[in-house]
Amino acid sequence: MNRRRFLQLASAMGLYSSVRGFAQAASPTLEPWQPGMLDIHPLAYGRGNSTFIFCPDGTTFLIDAGVTKDSTKVSCAQKPDPHVRPGEWIPSYALRQMKPAGRKELDYALITHIHPDHLGDVSVGDPSSPKGDYRLTGLMDVDAPVPIRKLIDRGFPDYSYPALDSPFSTSAPFALNYFGYVKSRQSLGESTERIKVGSSTQIRLLQHPDRYNNLSVRNLAANGEVWTGVGEQTHNTFPDLKDLRKQDYPNENMCSIALRLSYGKFDYFTGGDLPSGTGEESAESWRDIELAAAKAAGSAEVAVVDHHAYLEPSGRISSVSFALRLLSFRLGTSPIRQPYRCAGCSVASSIRETAIFLRHARSRRTEFQ
C-alpha cells in the first residue's frame, strides 16, 4: 500500500491519532509508565542484548542481559559509562522505570540461549557472588539488586540438547558461571524452568491479570521445536540427532527461544540469535529456523531483527523481512488500538538491534508524516 492510500485509509478509519502516538513514542523523553501501558525498552549499552518489558499491570520481564568482553573491534564501546558494569546499569535503569508501580523485582528473566552476549561473559576481575559459586556479570549481576522470581531458559535442568558438551564446551567459563548461578537458584529454592514451546501461560501477567486479559506471551520456538499455531501443539523441525554427524548438529544460535508478545492488536516478535540460513544454497531447509519461527508468529507490528542484524550470507529473503513485510501490510489494514511505547531511545543506539529497531520506527514515522 502506498503512502497516499494509507493516509486516506487512516483518515477514513480515524487512525491518525494512533499514528501520531507512535511517532511521539519514539521521542527521547519518555513520560513515566502508567497502568495500561506496555513499555518495551531495548537497552543499548553496546556490549550485548537486553530488553526490559514493563507490562500494563506492572508485571516485569527481562529478556537477556548479555555482556561481551570483546575488544571494540568486535563489540561496541560500553555505554552509558565505561566504568559501570552493564549488569549494574541494567537493574538501575529497570528500577527507575518500575518506580511508578512500586515494583522492585523481576517477575521473569528469560535467556534466549547460552551465549555471553545474552547472559554475561566472565573474567577474573568480576566480583564473586555471596550467594553461590559464580561471579557477578550480566544476568547474575542483575539478580543481585533486582531479585528474579522466575528464570526461564532453553536447556534447564541438564542442558543436554543437542549434546552435553556441544554447542558450547563444558569448560567455557561463561557457561560454567551461568550454570553455577542456576545451581545456586536451585539450592535456594528459586524458580527456574525450561521453556515450554507452544505455551501462552508460562509467561503471564502476575500483578493484575484480571484487568488486562488482552496481553499474552506465546512461546514460539526453542531447540528446533516450533509452535504449530493450534492450541499448544508443537512440531520438531530439526532432524533426529542420530541421523546427523556431530559436527552437523544444530548450533546454539539455532536453539534460541523465540516468542511473541501480544497486547490487543499489537504484536512484538523477538527470537534471540536465530539464523535464517547457512549461506549454502544446498543447505537443508531445517537450518532456516528463523523462517519457521516467523511463520509461527504471523504478522507483527514490531519484529526485532534476530542475531544482531548480521546478514546471514544467504541469498534467500530472511524471515525477518518476511515478518516486516507483513507488518506494513497489517498496519495499513488494522489499527493499533493499545497504548504501547518504545523506549531506550535516549540511550545511545549503539547495539545493532536497537539501531535497526529505531530505524524501523523512524522509517514508519517518515512514511506516516
Binding site for Zn ion (CB under 5 A): 117, 273
C-beta closer to Zn ion: residue 116 or 224: 116
C-beta closer to Zn ion: residue 117 or 126: 117
Q: How far is the CB of 326 from Zn ion (least distance, A)?
A: 24
What does the block give as the cell for 189?
529454592
Q: How far is the CB of 175 from Zn ion (least distance, A)?
A: 14
Identify whether the C-beta of residue 126 lies closer than 8 Å to the C-beta of residue 176.
no
C-beta closer to Zn ion: residue 113 or 287: 113
Q: How far is the CB of 345 from Zn ion (least distance, A)?
A: 22
C-beta closer to Zn ion: residue 112 or 219: 112
C-beta closer to Zn ion: residue 244 or 309: 309
Q: How far is the CB of 290 from Zn ion (least distance, A)?
A: 13
C-beta closer to Zn ion: residue 58 or 275: 275
Give dist(CA 258, CA 100) in Å, integer: 29
Q: How far is the CB of 74 from Zn ion (least distance, A)?
A: 12
C-beta closer to Zn ion: residue 115 or 341: 115
Q: How far is the CB of 118 from Zn ion (least distance, A)?
A: 6
Q: How far is the CB of 367 from Zn ion (least distance, A)?
A: 30
Give dist(CA 185, CA 149) in Å, integer: 10
Give dist(CA 150, CA 127) in Å, integer: 23
What does the block give as the cell for 363?
522509517
